[in-house]
Amino acid sequence: MVNTSAQFSSGSVSPADLVKRQRDFFGLGYTRSFDYRLRRLQELRRALVEEEPRLREALRLDLGKSDFDVLSSEVGFCLTELDMAIKNLPKWMRSQKVGLPLTLLPGSGRIMPQPLGVVLILGAWNYPVQLTLVPLIGAIAAGNCAIIKPSEVAPNSSRAIAELLQRTFDPMYVTTVEGGANTSQALLEERFDHIFYTGGPTIAKVVMGMAARHLTPVTLELGGKNPCIVDETADIEVTARRVVWGKYFNAGQTCLAVDHLWVHSSIKSQLLQQIARTIAEFYGEAPHQSADYGRIVNQYHCDRLQRLITSGGRIVVGGQFDPTQRYLSPTVIDEVPLNSPLMQEEIFGPVLPIVPYDDLDSVLRYVNQQPSPLAVYLFSADGDRHQQFTQETQSGAIVINDAVVQAAAPNLPFGGVGNSGMGKYHGKASFDCFTHQKTVLKRPFWLDVNVRYAPYNSQKLSLLRRLMRI
């Protein structure tokens, strides 16, 4: 493999030349074969295992991730996706036969999965490895060439990902381009066959607008204010553990994280006490000393979170801040007004607002009045309430009695709806995301009934009515 990189800032490779190089390679047809795709997936798997120490160190520097975090939600997550793709690729690539109506017989119809061509993947900073490479796994499995732009907000991870991919793939096939917003904008000026973006709604609108100029389809993996509702039937101890894990994993910098907590008034005091105990069990009395507790990615987000925790409500757990270490302790804020910025902005950090309620229907109405989130979490032992929230809320997913873990099930398509995104990936959904389902219809010459041809008469019309059962 040729070990070169594309650096727009150096002027050595322009975006237009980069895309043309990929199109020329795609036109050779190598990526369409099963063997080529399989070998590339296997090479990526080997590279991930070999480079895991380098990636682990980069993620520690950028986000303070523990070894367990890296294995479970970054490198290990990608390996699970790779293993699924490698195992199922023959089945995914297979054409699917479909039946034809009587009017098209004799004939045969099938749906043929076909690569899209050259795709652009814009990665995110909060899970830099996973959110960059899992879409790439789908693109490779589907037979595409890919241009990868890791997030510059996690610079050490961006460099590690770029070097891993440069060592693994010919740049005509998979190219990594590092840089900031100007680099992304330069890439988006070009015509791609699909664009995959992970991030926030504001930038997503820019991506979608630029893609529209070329009529390029997009997948947008966004976020939102994921509500978590705990009713009076919930198991307090289990709920506290799962909520604390789902909120403070990666220091709350997770698109699927519990954003805020609705708690029935009758159990609020008990649940808050258990949450405080659980935080201490997980991270100790001094979370800044815990190897298992992450850091805020940069100073901008530190300032943003510091503003949020002083914007309303009463801090009942945490609130300790050390911007020099990019540290914000696991924080719980009670008595948060609904008009507080904590309830209006996506938090994306280790701050958990608490809102008590007495009437569950009023909570349901509130949730449905907000932009559709990536997830709704409900902790309840009441099956009727499970059914009610499943049917009457709109979100990318609903999870009953747990949080965040839905992302770890590759057979469950992952994605949002409305403000939380469009399109799905993970597992086969990743393959489908980067695939054109091509219609193939084949008919013989030996029978050519003239009923469909002009001139039309009453007999032909009568026959058509019978066929249409009119």
Paired residues of 422 in beta bridges: 220
**Single-letter amino acid, residue 420:** S
> CA–CA separation, 396 vs 414, rounded Å?
7
Paired residues of 177 in beta bridges: 6
From the candidates 145, 221, 302, 433, give the one annotated as an active-site residue: 221
Contact 74, 407 (CB under 8 A): no
Alpha-helical segments (H) within 28-114? 34-63, 67-70, 76-93
- What does the H/E/C string look like for 262-324? EEECCCHHHHHHHHHHHHHHHHCCCHHHCCCCCCCCCHHHHHHHHHHHCCCCEEEECCCEEHH
Q: What is the DSSP letter of 224?
A: -
Q: Which residues contact 118 (CB under 8 A, 6 or more apart)?
A: 19, 22, 23, 26, 144, 145, 146, 147, 192, 193
346 an active-site residue? Answer: no
> CA–CA separation, 293 vs 284, rounded Å?
10
> CA–CA separation, 103 vs 82, rounded Å?
43
255 an active-site residue? Answer: yes
* Phi, psi for residue 447 in degrees, rounded to 5: -135, 120
Cα dihedral angle (198, 201, 205, 211), rounded to 10 degrees?
Answer: 20
From the candidates 145, 255, 302, 433, give the one annotated as an active-site residue: 255
> CA–CA separation, 393 vs 386, rounded Å?
11
Instruction: Please choose, from the candidates 328, 395, 316, the residue with its C-alpha nearest in 3D space to the C-alpha of residue 353.
Output: 316
Which residues does the annotation mark as catalytic?
221, 255
